[in-house]
Amino acid sequence: MYDLSAGEILRFHQAPGNMTVSTPYVVQVISPIQLLSNQASDAHRCMVSDGERMSLAVIPNKLSARVADETITRFTVLKVKKCSVSKKERQNDTPMLFIVIHDAEILGTVGEKIGNPAKLTEQDDVAAGAPQSFAAAPAAAESPISRPAYQPQYQQPPAQQQPQSHFGGAQSSSSSSFMSRVDDIKPKYSAMGSSAPMHTGAPPSVHPISDLNPYHNKWTIRARVTQKTPIKVWNKPSSQGRLFSVTLLDDSGEIRGTAFTQQVDKLFPLLEAGKVYYISNAQVRMAKQQFSNVNNQYELTFDDNTLVELCLEQANVPQEHYDFIPLGGLEKFQKNQVVDILCVLKDAGEVSEITMRTDDRKMTKRDLTIVDKSGFQVRAALWGTEAETFNVPVDHVIAFKGMRVGDFGGRTLSLPSMGSMTVNPDIPEAHALRGWYDAEGRHMSFQSYRGTGGGGGGGAGGIGSAENFEAQLKTMAQVGAENIGATDNVEFFNLKGTIAFIRSNNLAYPSCPGENCNKKVTEDLSSGQWRCEKCERSWPAPDYRYIFSFNVSDDTGQNWLQCFNEVGELLLGATANEMMELQRVNEVAFGQKLADATFKEYKFRCKAKSETFNEVSRVRISATNAYPIDYVAETARLSRLIDSYN
């Protein structure tokens, strides 16, 4: 039996303010672990006990893999090495205690609850007028860990207990909603001046950005604004307004902050790129990664209560933060994830103009070819002004901040409006890359993600090398057991299996023959023409394209996959037009063609995504590529697998 740190949760409850605790203590998970359904991540929640009291605990997504494989489950005993503790006030009730576990060691799992823990009650609160010092709280005699008295590392400065607006008067407790009414959507600035109020007096206690989470409601950060977007205006039938975003950095990490509508006028003149500020009273929410170039699962939303003060001491806050990813490691990242890249420019294309499919906007684009020490070359796209003004000579080193990963033909990169690039940055990594390129990289042949079969292509479009294929290979049973595709994100993986059945109904759909359209067309029975509503044209005949489902099996089970035109042509050995004509004139030959395609073995590159239809969610798996088995290479792979067990 394990000894829990009795009294620990009570001391957390009686401590003044929020804090980060880095002295280890032992607790037990005493409830089923549940996914936080209102969060856009795989964070979990549960109840934990120190043997005497219980508290709500949050397990962030960096520990979620331990929950998924049931290493952390009900009745697991944890040695918590680092956590954040906060309290949420409740009307006519004792405050709710939250423990966000950042780092923990798993001691083991027992078959039952240890002790008889009780909920925190009003009797557990410190008596009014005689607040107990958290540092003076006696350590429990039965605690298995010898530790010094606690000191709360981050206490809220007294000035923030009753927030005052630097824009005039005390603030209302209600914050602005995302859909605040807008008097005038054009940018306008108040006459309060163009700089933030300067912080005077003693420096407040600050909280590191890396520890911010939705369960800490009182904090102050000291951060540098490293990026600031222009004001963007949206005007939709359902809403209208303005917004701008900043990237905030301290020595623990970075986070994105966004101001909407009414807060734009207040905060846009105050926050300047390159300067350091004290910021408090913003809302911490799950990040919408499709709009962010920051590697943080949370983001800030500025509201009426947000306080911004200019910090005089700026030397100790870093200027920029990079988390460089090698180009050869992009296959580990999903579409639309954001990465930092340090590379050498190998080639720069000309500026071109393209029409966006979503809204027919004209955009300028320039494609770059970049390389690095991983031996890969990747196509990177610049847009708009960045594309038009780009004039960096080839063979120069570039640091890209906030590149967005794409999966067109393998792995690509794109620099969004929030991203940035620095040519020949004065950092050690750039000097090392420059030396490598001059010594050997200039004369190398680089691998591309656009390859097929055994070449490059470990992303959405290609199987990749034998090692990459094996690293992402799943059995049919694993796909279900690991709930692949059950999250909000698209997941890529590899399968090897035999086609057991092909659905012949709805094998293909009639598409528009127009260039780069492929939209479904409908037949006008009166004229015999096929109408495309997107192109607003009629055609004498459609261009059929495959979209069908087929069943693939291996020795562990089976799964249904969906494929589109290119994969369909490979599997059936005929175009969709040929198959639809064959079905019309010779049903027997059509059936034989489908039979000939079954009981053949392939390697499949797959993507899985959860879809909701009629309020029912299900996982759809699509085969984005298929390759016949190379039995010589497959024999070598199986031989290596057998050797690994010896």
**For residues 464-471, average pLDDT:** 60
For the chain, domain boundaries: 8-124, 180-310, 327-448, 466-642
- Note whether 36 and 58 are within 8 A (CB): yes
Indicate the burial class of 512 (C-beta count within 10 angstroms; 0-12, 13-18, 19 or more): buried
Residue 174 has pLDDT above 60, yes or no: no
Q: Tell the residue number behind the tokens 């006519």, with chain if given.
A: 92
| Domain at 466-642: CATH code | 2.40.50.140
**For residues 95-115, average pLDDT:** 87
Instruction: Report which listed range, 26-35, 85-94, 185-194, 360-369, is most confident.
Output: 26-35
All residues at 6 or more sequence positions from 257 whose CB lies less than 8 Å from its CB, including other chains: 245, 246, 247, 248, 279, 282, 299, 300, 301, 302
- The mean pLDDT of the chain is 79
| Domain at 180-310: CATH code | 2.40.50.140
Residue 640 has pLDDT above 70, yes or no: yes
Span 428-458, pLDDT tens digits: 899 999 999 998 888 888 887 753 333 333 4
Angle, alpha carbons 471-474-478 (nearest 5°): 135
CATH topology of domain 8-124: OB fold (Dihydrolipoamide Acetyltransferase, E2P) (2.40.50)
Of residues 459 and 303, the one with the higher pLDDT is 303
Burial string for 62-85 (b: 16+ CB within 10 Å, else e) reads ebbebbeeeebebebbbbbeebbb
Span 78-89, pLDDT tens digits: 999 988 888 777
Nearest to 83 by CA among 100, 98, 61, 96: 100
One-letter-per-residue 3-state SS of 535-556: CCEEECCCEEEEEEEEEEEECC
> Rounded to whole angstroms, how far apart are CA atoms 219 and 279?
9
**For residues 215-225, average pLDDT:** 84
| Domain at 327-448: CATH code | 2.40.50.140
> Rounded to whole angstroms, how far apart are CA atoms 277 and 270?
10
Q: Do domains 8-124 and 180-310 have the same CATH topology?
A: yes
pTM score, whole prediction:
0.45
